[in-house]
Amino acid sequence: MYKLNTSSKFSEAKINDELKAIDNKFKAKDNKSKAEFNNEANSDI
């Protein structure tokens, strides 16, 4: 998913894990926002 040029495979893996964690956090937040939006939209009916 993310390609970084680093001399150390260890640091590359570590950085990729960090980026994935951040990515997942944003996805979770986005899904939560969508769910809340849908709940509000449904409650108006």
pLDDT at 27: 92
Q: What percent of the chain has pLDDT over 90?
A: 27
13 contacts 21 by C-beta, under 8 angstroms: no
Asked whether residue 6 carries a pLDDT value surpassing 60, the answer given is no
Prediction pTM value: 0.50
Asked whether residue 23 carries a pLDDT value surpassing 90, the answer given is yes
12 contacts 6 by C-beta, under 8 angstroms: yes
